[in-house]
Structure 1
Amino acid sequence: MKKEGRWKALFFVVAAGLLTTGCGAGAKGVSADAAAPQEAYEIASEEAYDTAASTASGEIYTNGAEAKMQESGEADAGGEGAESYTAQRKLIKNVNLQVETENFDELLANVEEKTRKAGGYIEQSYTYNGSSYYGGGTRNASLTIRIPAEQLDAFLSAVSEVSNVITQNESVTDVTLQYVDLESHKKALLAEQDRLLELLDVAETIEDIISLESRLSEVRYQIESMESQLRTMDNQVSYSTIELYIDEVEKLTPVKEQTVWQKISVGFSNSLHNVGNGLLNFGIGLIISLPYLMLWAVIILIIVLICVIIIKTSRKKAQKKEKEQTPEQKKGK
């Protein structure tokens, strides 16, 4: 009897263990089915970023290999390898140029024509005609010009030939790594977008659909933002920016080193020129101010006349009083 009781107890223990195991497996199966879309999305995202990272690494490795070939002298003869490598780089060129001219209208027309012939355009312009209350003065202009990068040197040379260059400042910004990084990130987002669309087609629950659509909107926004940045970089790389300042002068500023006698001669002639301009401006100012001077002259004349009349009247009154006095009054005084 005792043996039978032990066997029954053992049977119940084994049966209970099997039931517990089966329920746990069933619960795990349900949980796994519910989390399947999320896990698939996470795996897809990881695969997309891994692929993009591999692509970006390959591009950077290729650029690095080309740079090493240039340094070791393994490039083609004539510098073809170096030119090819430079052409692949993303360089933004900006130039600040200040020039003088004695023929303002002619130079401005030349600049506009040379810009058009180079395939560029004037992005912004400001012109001051030199007019003022006291007469005409020197004119000046400020232009923001966009020129194709390959035509930049030729355009600068053409402008320097028809004007007197005072200052020229050039700057180059290399955005190659930033451009490659944006492209690789964009590729990763495009791969993630494709995978999200695939998951959205097979999603069954409302919760999964809402979650996937929300992430899809974020990914599309990031893609559009990166495409806008890439287009801006492409435009800045393709078209160099020139800030051109034009000043009209009566005499051009010497840009070459002068001898002592040249400095004396130029300084003396400038002094004579300034004296002449000063006298001319004084005469112009005097003529312009004549109405005011005449008005003040009339006012002063009226004041003087009033004073003279008052003085004369006072003297006459004093003389009259003296005549009216009797001899006794005069003796008493």
Structure 2
Amino acid sequence: MRRRVLTLLVVGLMLFATACGNASEGSTAEFAATTESKSSGYDSLGLSESASEDSIGSGDYADYEEQDYESDYSNDGGSEVDLSEYDTSRKLIYTSYINLESKKFDEDVDAIKELVSANGGYFESTSSYGNEEYGSRSASFTARIPSDKYEAFMNSVGEVGSLASKSESVDDITSSYVDVQARLKSLNTKLERLQELEEQADNLEDLLAIEDRINDVQYQIESYTAQKKAYDDQIDYSTVSIDITEVSTYSEVKADTAWNRFVEAFSSSFSGFVAFIQAFVIAIIYLLPYLILIAIILCIIFFVRKKKGKSFSFKKKDKKTDQS
């Protein structure tokens, strides 16, 4: 009995092992068939299995990022920069200062205003000081004059009143102006390329990255455009600062000789002495009410003390008379 049971168990185990082996072989065969079918499908498309697993179309933006579009108006030294597309004419900024003396202040101020208007200019700022009573008025102007009228204006304004001093300066900004033009051209080209890539973007990440670059480029374009406009304004309109002072006599320009130095030193010394006397007299006039009040108080004190002194002497005389 026991032998039969053992025999049946052995046979059952053998049958189970055989079944598991057949199942494993079937799964392996099925996986191989599937893999072979999949490979044949990729081959029919002309692609390898590894290529199919890569992200196809990583995006034109990635290609754009790999290219170098940051070379704004740069020259590697191997080739000359083509400047034919830029305005390379001489760009000059004129700035001048004029100091005038005037015996007819109101008339000369009106003459300056008429000259600025006649030459197509305008006043950027004006200011005035002093009053007519003391004859010590002065005025300051900052005028913007068209560059093509600058020389004529300078010659005319120098004839108003008496020219005490004059200075002029010229700033050549040609290279800076050309550089701004080149940078604007480069940035506009970059903006066009970014806009093309924006239309071709096939995912949100690339689209957002391109829009950030577009905003940055547009900001730079606005900045350089504003700088170019500022240059144009300074080039088209020269800046002239004018100071005019009311005087009773014009300052004389004398040769620098020893005699003239002596005369000037004596004149300055005498003028200083006269000014001191004037200041002293003016101070006395200001203090006169206080001086009068002090004098009255001193007179009262002196009168009271004198009266007391007389009464004291009379008392002494009376005492001597009584003793005798």
TM-score by length of 1: 0.70
- In structure 2, the residue matched to 1:100 is 101
User: 2:205, 2:236 → 1: CA distance?
Assistant: 47
Higher helix share: 1
Offset of 1:53 from its aligned partner? 5.3
Partner of residue 22 from structure 1, selected from 48, 53, 67: 48
Distance (Å, rounded) in 2 between the aligned partners of 1:309 and 1:256 = 66
Residue equivalent to 2:177: 179
Q: Secondary structure at the match of 2:82?
A: helix
Residue 119 of structure 2 corresponds to 118
2:90/2:174 contact within 8 Å kept? yes
For residues 245-269 of structure 1, give each alpha carbon's deviation from its aligned partner in whole angstroms, at most 9, with x where no partner exists.
11222111223648999x59x8699
Find the counterpart in structure 2 of residue 215 from structure 1: 213
Q: Write the distance in 1 (CA, Å) between the matches of 2:206 and 2:272.
A: 87
Higher Cα Rg, which structure: 2
2:82 aligned with 1:58: yes
Instruction: Go from structure 1 to structure 2 and tell me whether the alpha carbon gap of 1:146 and 1:25 turns closer, same or farther (over 3 Å shift).
Output: same
SS at structure 2 position matched to 1:113: helix
Question: Is the CA contact (8 Å cut-off) linking 1:126 and 1:142 kept in structure 2?
Answer: yes
2:315 maps to what in 1? 320
Give the match's secondary structure for 2:128. Answer: strand
Per-residue CA distance 1:278-297 (angstroms, 9 max, x = gap) = 599569837xx646413421
Partner residue in 2 for 1:240: 238
Which stretch shifts more, 190-199 or 236-245?
Answer: 190-199
For 1:103 and 1:42, how far apart are their aligned partners in 2? 73
Cα drift, residue 127 of structure 1: 0.9
Contact 2:135 2:247 in 1 (8 A): no
For 1:324, the aligned partner's letter is K
What CA distance in whole angstroms lies between the structure 2 residues aligned with 1:156 and 1:255?
A: 21
Q: 2:57 aligns with which of 14, 23, 33?
A: 33
Deviations 1:216-254 (A, max 9, x none): 111111101100000000000000011111122211122
Per the alignment, do residues 280 and 300 of structure 1 end up closer, same or farther by CA in structure 2, a change over 3 Å counting?
Answer: closer
Among 291, 295, 317, which residue is 1:296 paired with?
Answer: 291
Output the TM-score relative to the length of structure 2. Answer: 0.72
**How far apart, CA to CA, are the structure 1 residues paired with 2:106 and 2:147?**
27
Deviation at 1:108, TM superposition (A): 0.8
What is the percentage of aligned positions where both structures have the same residue?
A: 28
Number of residue pairs the alignment of both structures matches: 280
- Aligned partner (choices 281, 285, 295) of residue 282 of structure 2: 285
Instruction: State the distance in 1 between where 2:246 and 2:85 align.
Output: 53
> In the aligned structure 1, how far is the partner of 2:102 from the partner of 2:316?
80
For residues 97-153 of structure 1, give each alpha carbon's deviation from its aligned partner in whole angstroms, at most 9, with x where no partner exists. 11222111111111100000000011111111247xxx6242211111110111111
121-130 or 294-303: bigger deviation: 294-303
Q: Partners of 2:176 and 2:84 in 1: how far apart?
A: 11
For residues 256 and 314 of structure 1, what CA distance do their matches in structure 2 show? 70
Give, as a single letter, the amino acid of the residue that structure 2 aligns with 1:303.
Answer: L
Q: Please tell me whether the aligned partners of residues 100 and 160 of structure 2 are also in contact (alpha carbons under 8 angstroms).
A: no
RMSD: 3.9
Q: Which runs of 5+ in 1 are unaligned?
A: 1-11, 64-84
Q: Is the 8 A contact 1:118 1:151 kept in 2?
A: yes
Give the aligned residue type for 2:82: G
In structure 2, the residue corresponding to 1:119 is in which secondary structure? coil
Alpha-carbon deviation of 1:310?
2.1
For 2:312 and 2:121, locate their aligned partners in 1 and report how far apart those are by CA, in whole Å: 90
Distance, in Å, in 2 between the alignment partners of 1:148 and 1:103 is 28
Q: Paired residue for 1:195? A: 193
Does structure 1 retain, via aligned residues, the 8 Å contact 2:105–2:246?
Answer: yes
- Name whichever of 226-235 and 299-308 sits farther off: 299-308
SS of the residue 2:299 aligns to: helix
SS at 1:138's partner residue?
Answer: coil
